[in-house]
Amino acid sequence: MRKHKAFPVTQFLLILVAVLLLLPIAATLILSFFSPEELKAYLATRNSFSGDRMMEIRLIPREFSLLQYYRILITDQTILRGFVNSALYAIAIIGGQILILPMLAYGLSCFRFRGRDIIAFSIVLLMVLPFQVTMVPNVLTLRTLNLLNSRWAVILPMLTAPFSAFLLRQYMLSIPGELIEAAQIDSAGPLHCYIRIVLPLSRPVIGTMIALSFAECWNLVEQPLVYLTLRPDLQPLSVTFGQLTSQIRGIEFAGAALFILPSLFVYMIFQDDIMEGVQIIGIK
């Protein structure tokens, strides 16, 4: 064991980093409790180029108000509709990935067969290709299958997240071979071994996969912009929110807070899994 010394400077710097990272999110939450009129008036002071006029830095509302939330939840549901779209995409994509990817990784890690390494290598290649490249094959298939401008256009190509497949496989490769051999000796079939041994052991990395996929699904921008050009009604909130807030209506920050909220939940649930799941990245 190394001795536990106190490192005041390190600690101070780290807390500074954490505060800077949390500040934008905290500011969003605070601004969501401004009354719509106050928020409108505040945001109207943006983009003023005359003389020395500056925006105030306001961290406390003049009066605490839930009116922004009331408006986005009850009276004006445009934000809510986008939210529902986003949730649909996230649930469909993550659900599909949970079904498909651990099975794929299991096949590529606990079996020996010809072509295994080629498949694994091509997944790594896919992983390092930027979106600008992989978008093109996706578009070509979606066009051929006539799926452009439907929800499937966003969901189907995302079912095979190469990075998640890679993570899962690395993790399963590290499962001790004896465990699987023991199952073989008990003449348990591969399906039994998958459900009883591999899946339960892979829980942390599956949690990591869910959290990473959620980050991706909750922030879909490029895909819906390209695949859903004709269907503004199917766009997720991650796209429409930017358009909705181009004219100030005094409800922006409650909308933003509502949009961030599920991220907080996902993070709280899967935090420990992520810490455990990424450990595997270092092991080659």
Residues 224-283 that bind another protein (CB under 8 A): 225-226, 229, 237-239, 241-242, 245, 252-253, 255-257, 259-260, 263-264, 266-267, 271, 274-275, 278-279, 281-283
Using CB under 8 A as the binding rule, whether residue 155 contacts another protein is answered as no
Residue of the chain from 71, 172, 214, 224 that contacts another protein (CB under 8 A): 214
136 binds another protein (CB under 8 A): yes
Binding of another protein by 118 (CB under 8 A): no
- How far, in Å, CA of 37 to CA of 283, rounded? 55
Using the rule CB under 8 A, give the single segment among 67-75, 130-138, 199-207 that binds another protein: 130-138
Q: Are 155 and 93 in contact (CB under 8 A)?
A: yes
Q: Whose Cβ is closer to another protein: residue 209's or residue 257's?
A: 257
Site for another protein in 192-211 (CB under 8 A): 193-194, 211
Distance, CA of 149 to CA of 163 (rounded, Å): 26
The Cα–Cα gap between 279 and 231 comes to 41
Min CB(106)–another protein separation in Å: 5
Q: Considering only residues 33-52, where is the footprint of another protein by CB under 8 A? A: 43, 45-49
Interacting residue with another protein among 154, 165, 228, 251 (CB under 8 A): 165
Question: CB of 63: closest distance to another protein in angstroms?
Answer: 20
- Answer for which of 222, 232, 233, 269 binds another protein (CB under 8 A) is 222
Instruction: Calculate helix-pair angle for 252-277, 203-217, nearest 10 degrees.
Output: 150
Instruction: Indicate the SS3 state at residue 247.
Output: coil
Does residue 134 sit in helix, strand or coil? Answer: helix
CB of 195 to another protein, least distance (A): 12
Looking at 2, 63, 75, 187, which residue binds another protein (CB under 8 A)?
Answer: 2
> Distance of alpha carbon 39 from its chain centroid, rounded?
29
Q: At what angle do helices 78-109 and 203-217 cross, to 10 degrees?
A: 140
Structure tokens at 170: 């690395």
Closer to another protein by CB, 78 or 138: give it. Answer: 138
Instruction: Kindly give, in sequence order, each residue whose CB lies less than 8 Å from that of residue 253, ignoring residues fewer than 6 positions away.
Output: 28, 31, 32, 34, 39, 68
72-91: contacts with another protein (CB under 8 A): none
Name the one range near another protein by CB under 8 A: 60-68, 69-77, 93-101, 199-207.
Answer: 93-101
Q: What gap in Å lies between CA 81 and CA 200, rounded to an integer?
A: 36
Cβ atoms of 94 and 266 within 8 Å: the answer is: no
37-50 b/e with 16+ CB inside 10 Å = b?
ebbeebbeeeeeee
> Where does this chain touch another protein (CB under 8 A) — which range of 4-12, 60-68, 70-78, 199-207?
4-12
What spatial distance separates the first Cα and last Cα of the chain, rounded to whole Å? 26
Among 91, 133, 182, 195, binds another protein (CB under 8 A): 133
Q: Is 157 in the site for another protein (CB under 8 A)?
A: yes
When asked if residue 128 is in the footprint of another protein (CB under 8 A), the reply is yes
Contacts to another protein from residues 98-117, by CB under 8 A: 99-101, 103-104, 106-108, 110-113
The DSSP code sequence of 224-278 is: HHHHTTT-GGG--HHHHHHHHTTS--S-HHHHHHHHHHHHHHHHHHHHHHHHHHG
